Structure 1
Amino acid sequence: MFKNSLFLVLSLIVISLFASDMKNDNSFTTPGNSVITEFQKNNSASKAPDFALTSVDGKTVKLSDFKGKIVIVDFWATWCPPCRKGIPDLIQIQKEYPKDVVVIGISLDRDTKSEVPAFVKNYGINYPVVYGDGKVDKNFGGIEAIPTAFVIDRNGNIVDKHVGLVPKSTYVNLIKKLK
């Protein structure tokens, strides 16, 4: 009887601590709401690390080439379902804001790298897609999950970070603030 009571009390304590922690977790978003990430809370705008990576069409793409534009750097992979689900929104953003915004997709495909060009063509991706080199993700502070996207202002400062699938409206609201 004592063991059962003790187990019940400890279980309730653990559940209440977990529920309390989830209640205060602002790293997730619901569609249509703005994302309040740990990045925003703990970091003021910092310079985005420049990179020079090879695109699927063999060209070198540098982040610094897009200074003066809002840049969305999207870390993704062909095998990632949330990445695939979010790509049409990024395509639309690139279509709707061609003068103000550049989306750069950084493929983290390692074993399936050869599949990336066909994937880009099949999805009709209209923005530069480059191959990650193992350094770029570390230079952005490490990528713990994909998709992960960084929003960079016209001056090259990282102003937001999103982990997971992000609604298009979240990006649009941020673009409007940065224009």
Structure 2
Amino acid sequence: MSDHPAAKPRGGALTWALWGAALIGVAAVVYIMAQASTKPASEAPAPAAAPAAAEHDVARKLEHPADGQAPPAYAFYDADGKKLTPADFKGKVVVMNLWATWCAPCKIEMPTLAKLAKTYQGKPVAVVAVSIDKPEALAEAKAFIAQNAPLAFYNDPDAKLPWAIKPAAAGMPTTLILGKDGLERGRISGEADWSGPGAKAVIDKALAN
């Protein structure tokens, strides 16, 4: 018979050690969560910024393929059937927008053209939105412009104005900027935001010249 007492099993000590480690881990997680919930707003990550609408900024989109050229003496009509040409607006900065009811981007940007017209009411600026809709779509085109006051209705029933300008319009919408001298000072192909600061900068520069 041995004189040494039997060694006590060590399983109990090991179990307590494992439980202790687990409790420390849980405490650490709880501490981190508590710190995150009480973190000052100034230290929290800033939310992602909304994507900029730079692709529709007038100043960025402005092109100059025909600066200094006179627009064509091509006739279009007002709502009363009066024949007009771009020369009839000489003395004003003219924003001549070519559009159609079948053109979705044209209809999207039209309210911003209306805002531009409101901004410059009483100043020598004319926003001239010329529809190239055929006669069968005139009622729809007139109703749409009526929803975008103070814009007036103009129409090119033969839809030839986009090809009469040089170079020809690349698509719809196309917008020409004419100076007070009646000459082209820039144009924009495609949809643009005419209510933004870029548009105001372009128009103010044309007014100053």
How many positions carry a matched residue from both structures? 148
Distance 2:182 2:58 in 1: 25
How many angstroms apart in 2 are the aligned matches of 1:162 and 1:106? 15
- Residues 59, 81 of structure 1: alpha-carbon distance in 2 compared, 3 angstrom cutoff: same
What TM-score results when the alignment is normalised by the length of structure 2?
0.63
Shift of 1:135: 3.1
Give yes or no for contact 2:90–2:182 (8 Å, CA) kept in 1: yes
Q: 1:76: Cα distance to partner?
A: 0.4
Comparing 103-112 and 128-137, the one that deviates more:
128-137
1:100 is aligned, of 121, 124, 131, to 124
AA matched with 2:171: A
Structure having the higher strand fraction is 1
User: Which deviates more from structure 2 when the two are superposed, residues 69-78 or residues 165-174?
Assistant: 165-174
What letter is aligned with 2:169? I
Corresponding residue of 1:177: 205
| Equivalent-residue separation in structure 2 for 1:33 and 1:72 (angstroms) | 12
Which amino acid in the other structure matches residue 115 of structure 1?
Answer: E
Partner of 1:150: 176
C-alpha contact 2:68 2:185 (8 A) present in aligned 1? yes
Q: Paired residue for 1:45, among 65, 68, 77? A: 68
Moved over 4 A (4+): none
1:36 to 1:79, Cα distance in 2 relative to 1, 3 A: closer
| Counterpart in the other structure of 1:17 | none
CA separation of 1:33/1:90 partners in 2, compared to 1, >3 Å: closer, same or farther? closer
TM-score by length of 1: 0.72
Percent identity between matched residues is: 26
Determine whether 1:55 maps to 2:78. yes
Give the unaligned 5+ runs of structure 2. Answer: 1-53
Instruction: Evaluate the alpha carbon distance shift between residue 71 and residue 102 of structure 1 in structure 2; reply closer, same or farther with a 3 A threshold.
Output: same
How big is the alpha-carbon RMSD for the aligned residues of Structure 1 and Structure 2?
2.1
Structure 1 position 77 matched with structure 2 position 100: yes
